[in-house]
Amino acid sequence: MTGETEIWAARLYGTADIRLAREPMPAVEPSMSLVRVTAVGICGSDLHWWGEAGIGDARLDRPLVLGHENAGVIADGPRRGQRVAIDPAIPCEACAQCRRGWRNLCPRVRFAGHGSTDGGLREFLAWPTALLHPLPDTLSDPDGALLEPLGVALHAQDLGHLRLGGSAAVFGCGPIGLMLIQLLLAAGASRVIAADPLDHRRKAADGLGAEIAPAGLGADAVPGAEITAGPAAEVDTAFEVAGTDEAVDAAMAATRPGGRVVLVGIPDGDRTSFRASVARRKGLTIAMSRRMNDTYPRAIALAESGRLDLAALVTHRVPLADVAAAFRTAACRDGLKVIVEPGG
């Protein structure tokens, strides 16, 4: 054990109101381990909580510790000293969805930094030992935090059903979109088109091997003319990773008849709309992506193989003391991934 009785923790009290304070060390229940948190990624869903005091139909009803992209070091028990990536989802393991293997769809799942379950923006957290995945020495602590969004990208790719040699488009080139680009190319896509309104994100996608759409992601891209030059240029599968209706419309416009569109982004206001005529006439299959499903072992193997560049996605690393500034930086989207380091 650490011998400490209090820790620093950052809690969200309301819109853009995150406060750092001392609080008691988390209690460690049976089948759990105490983890010293070393790296926490700020995700787009964290920005929904920060900017809207909620996400979807979940609202802030008490001060909440955000952070579900977490890595750390086990601080007690037989695995003490082991570096780990922390799976943020605690499914019930008893419902029909869990028994079918769809743990990401568990209606009673507890998720770090969501609802009443505190996340990783604190010095220590207690978490189920079975959900602590050992980190290879070749992966850094920020790499370990990025395994969660990599898992989200892997799950979205699975839902895309893209065949070897097929073509794809990614609308929204934040960290998950950039991971998707890498995964699709590694899986044998013949062509991956990327679209985003931000120049630095388009440059990042270009550096990873994507074909950049002439126009950025936005209302002017809805017809798809900037991305497709006739039916022959339409893609087999499009991934929307921006959380906007414009991105959804652009993804559908860019997809061939009979193709698939995977919606990964989370919209403001808990509502998505699109041009039904395009989706209907093309007979598109629309898949909704919900977090990830048991992807940590695959994500770790892929990251360790060197086929993906995770480190290049990290543009800011800040200590927990600067957590409020870290959220402002992430909300400006002038970089890619912001990592908070509670142990710094």
- Is a pLDDT exceeding 70 seen at residue 230? no
Cα gap 245→28, rounded to integer Å: 43
- Is a pLDDT exceeding 60 seen at residue 285? yes
The CATH 3.40.50.720 domain(s) of the chain lie at 151-288
C-alpha distance from residue 276 to each of 273, 280, 286, 309 (Å)? 9, 6, 12, 37
57 pLDDT band, cuts 50/70/90, is confident
105 pLDDT band, cuts 50/70/90, is very high
Which pLDDT tens digit goes with each residue over 148-206?
999 999 999 999 999 999 999 999 999 999 999 999 999 999 999 999 999 999 999 99
Amino acid of residue 160: G
Q: Give the closest residue to 190 by CA, choosing from 150, 237, 158.
A: 237
* Statement: the pTM of the whole predicted model exceeds 0.85: yes
Q: Which of 1-10, 252-261, 272-281, 301-310 shows the lowest mean pLDDT across its residues?
A: 1-10
DSSP bridge pairs for 134: 84
The CATH number given to 6-135+310-341 is 3.90.180.10
The CATH 3.90.180.10 domain(s) of the chain lie at 6-135+310-341
Q: DSSP states of 65-97 as a string? A: ----EEEEEE-SSTTTT-EEEE--EE--S-SHH
Fill in the DSSP letter of residue 239: E
- Cα-Cα end-to-end distance for the chain: 20
The CATH number given to 151-288 is 3.40.50.720
